[in-house]
């Protein structure tokens, strides 16, 4: 074995080892969820008297869903004289007229609802929330994004947790209006269930930090102010504020049984845009706050979990490196004997991948005990999509590391709730050209790698190679099909969801 071959193998196993290490962390999440099951926040008595609550609705070009949001908020089962509703509109299109008309309609019914429009997007969503809070009346601030439909009893179920004076924020679990619309929305619903049920649930039960998700939650105003307010130097202002508030000693509560439905993106490029913003913002927050977290007077478990949480998206860099190294390392080791490959590769890949299966299967069992088994068929494609996101999210991570600033691009929503709802003919489509082409190229690269493994009898690696192949072909192919396929693209989406 020459030096270049040795370097290839060393880099390959180094990358795979780190990915396996993060994979094992998912087992910790499952263990904590079960180990601290008795730490679930229970019901508390209603606050007496009921407080004034400011409900902020930040929107930007959301003409298809803003009516649905405002109507749902105004129909919540809470004394309307104790609700101050702020529609924080930065829109530049017809949303302005739609939102203003909806506000006027509910004002005529006696609601304290105001329409606050900014002429610029300084600070983006964080700036809008800050501007609204400057004139807010309430000591508690609930926030809902445009694509959410809060249940009528949301305030009555969430507010009692603030009877504990140390509670600074209460986060509800996201539900899914259109989970059954397509294969893509089903995969997203499982991903988000994992984040909320297991990640939030486990961290909260174990006494570790977790984050407000930007919507479907309530803040104590004092917690926002003491933490330094809304800041807009990251794309995840919610994650940033969450960690600053908890560093100040505020305690957060996750209410798994309070579910607030939201619309999932039906367009692949919208999904990628959302993932890009979350990945870049989390690394920006990691760079900004992790040194402070690690030097704070906190238990080791809290620091360790914060490290895993904030640094997780660095794994996308490793995924791209693994993609590049996979075939060369296979070629080198084939000449050494394929049995050695099985003895080394398979256990490490198993550690990195089976933890994902265990994580999401356990999550579905907890969230949907009646029919969780029927959802497991989507796990292989979920894993493939996670791999296929590596190009998109690696770009996000690199931009965060290099300090490149970018606009807060909100995730387009089209008011799609059920099969048959149109989205192709609506506004807010996002274009990507070079990235889907790169994803397709990687898909073809792994297609060649699959054939090489078949030709040489290296069957043990085939399941993992196919995940990479399908992930990149699906991500790149769906992006291009939906951009240029017109009605055919919508039809293919619908068929995939049946």
Q: Domain holding 72: CATH number?
A: 3.90.550.10
pLDDT, tens only, 217-265: 999 999 999 999 999 999 999 999 999 999 999 999 999 999 999 999 9
Q: Provide the 3-class DSSP secondary structure of residue 231.
A: coil
Indicate whether 324 belongs to any domain: yes
User: Are 269 and 237 found together in one domain?
Assistant: yes
User: Are 356 and 240 found together in one domain?
Assistant: no
| Annotated catalytic residue 90 | yes
User: Are 328 and 217 found together in one domain?
Assistant: no
User: Are 391 and 300 found together in one domain?
Assistant: no
Indicate whether 409 belongs to any domain: yes
Comparing CA positions, the residue from 394, 203, 362 lying closest to residue 283 is 394
CA distances from 22 to 189, 197, 302, 355 (A): 22, 19, 16, 9
In degrees and rounded to multiples of 5, residue 111 shows phi and psi of -85, 145
> Of 145, 147, 238, 240, which one is the catalytic site residue?
238
Q: Which two tokens stand for residue 125?
A: 């969503």
| Annotated catalytic residue 93 | no
User: Are 159 and 272 found together in one domain?
Assistant: yes
Q: Across the chain, what does the average pLDDT equal? A: 92
Indicate whether 290 belongs to any domain: yes
Indicate whether 38 belongs to any domain: no
Indicate whether 349 belongs to any domain: yes
Residue 419 DSSP code: T
Boundary residue ending a domain (256, 274, 309): 309
Rounded CA gap, 208 and 246, in Å? Answer: 10
User: Are 388 and 354 found together in one domain?
Assistant: yes
Rounded CA gap, 219 and 242, in Å? Answer: 10
User: Are 347 and 401 found together in one domain?
Assistant: yes
> Of 90, 147, 193, 345, which one is the catalytic site residue?
90
Boundary residue ending a domain (309, 330, 348): 309
User: Are 443 and 326 found together in one domain?
Assistant: yes
pLDDT, tens only, 273-313: 999 999 999 999 999 999 999 999 999 999 999 999 999 99
pTM: 0.93
In total, the chain counts a number of residues equal to: 498
- Structural domains of the chain, count: 2
User: Are 363 and 437 found together in one domain?
Assistant: yes
User: Are 190 and 141 found together in one domain?
Assistant: yes
Q: What is the residue range of 103's domain? A: 43-309
Indicate whether 245 belongs to any domain: yes
User: Are 230 and 84 found together in one domain?
Assistant: yes
**188 close to 262: Cβ distance less than 8 angstroms:** no
Boundary residue ending a domain (276, 309, 342): 309
Rounded CA gap, 118 and 487, in Å? Answer: 36
Indicate whether 412 belongs to any domain: yes
User: Are 337 and 414 found together in one domain?
Assistant: yes
Long-range contacts of 156-161 (CB under 8 A, 24+ apart): 156/46, 156/77, 156/78, 157/255, 157/258, 158/217, 158/218, 158/255, 158/258, 159/46, 159/47, 159/50, 159/51, 159/53, 159/218, 160/43, 160/44, 160/45, 160/46, 160/47, 161/41, 161/44, 161/253, 161/255
Rounded CA gap, 343 and 283, in Å? Answer: 35
pLDDT, tens only, 92-138: 999 999 999 999 999 999 999 999 999 889 999 999 999 999 999 99
Indicate whether 62 belongs to any domain: yes
């Amino acid at each position: 074995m020459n030096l270049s071959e040795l370097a290839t193998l060393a880099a390959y196993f180094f990358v795979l080892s780190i990915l396996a290490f993060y994979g094992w962390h998912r087992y910790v999440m499952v263990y904590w969820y079960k180990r601290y099951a008795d730490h679930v926040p229970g019901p508390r008595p209603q606050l007496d008297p009921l407080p004034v609550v400011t409900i902020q609705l930040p929107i930007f070009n959301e003409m298809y869903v803003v009516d649905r949001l405002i109507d749902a908020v105004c129909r919540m089962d809470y004394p309307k004289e104790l609700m101050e509703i702020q529609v924080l509109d930065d829109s530049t299109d017809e949303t302005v007229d739609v939102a203003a008309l909806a506000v006027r309609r509910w004002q005529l019914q006696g609601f304290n609802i105001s329409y606050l429009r900014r002429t610029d997007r300084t600070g983006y969503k964080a700036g809008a929330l800050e501007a609204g809070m400057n004139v807010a009346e309430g000591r508690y601030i609930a926030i809902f994004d445009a694509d959410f439909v809060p249940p009528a009893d949301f305030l009555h179920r969430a507010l009692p947790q603030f009877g504990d004076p140390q509670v600074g924020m209460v986060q509800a679990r996201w539900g899914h209006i259109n989970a059954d619309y397509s294969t893509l929305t089903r995969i997203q619903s499982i991903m988000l269930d994992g984040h909320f049920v297991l990640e939030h649930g486990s961290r909260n039960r174990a006494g570790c930090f977790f984050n407000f998700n930007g919507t479907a939650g309530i803040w104590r105003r004092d917690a926002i102010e003491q933490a330094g307010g809304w800041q807009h130097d990251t794309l995840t202002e919610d994650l940033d504020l969450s960690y600053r508030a908890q560093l100040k000693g505020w305690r957060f509560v996750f209410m798994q049984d309070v579910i607030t439905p939201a619309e999932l993106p039906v367009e692949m490029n919208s999904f990628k845009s959302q993932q890009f913003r979350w990945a870049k913002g989390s690394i920006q927050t990691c760079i900004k706050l992790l040194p402070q977290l690690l030097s704070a007077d906190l238990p080791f478990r809290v620091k360790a979990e914060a490290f895993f949480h904030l640094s997780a998206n660095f794994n996308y860099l490793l995924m791209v490196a693994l993609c590049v190294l996979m075939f060369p390392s296979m070629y080198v080791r084939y000449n050494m004997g394929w049995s050695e490959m099985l003895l080394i590769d398979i256990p490490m890949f198993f550690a990195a991948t089976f933890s994902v299966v265990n994580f999401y299967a356990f999550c579905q069992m907890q969230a949907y005990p009646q029919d969780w088994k029927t959802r497991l068929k989507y796990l292989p494609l979920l894993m493939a999509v996670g791999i296929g996101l590596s190009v998109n999210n690696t770009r996000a991570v690199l931009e965060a590391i290099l300090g490149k600033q970018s606009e807060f691009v909100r995730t387009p929503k089209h008011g799609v709730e059920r099969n048959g709802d149109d989205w192709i003919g609506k506004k807010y489509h996002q274009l990507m050209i070079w990235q889907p082409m790169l994803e397709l190229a990687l898909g073809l690269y792994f297609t060649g790698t699959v054939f090489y493994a078949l030709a040489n009898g290296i069957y043990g690696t085939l399941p993992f190679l196919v995940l990479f192949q399908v992930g990149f072909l699906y991500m790149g192919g769906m992006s291009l099909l939906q951009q240029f396929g017109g009605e055919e693209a919508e039809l293919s989406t619908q068929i995939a969801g049946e």
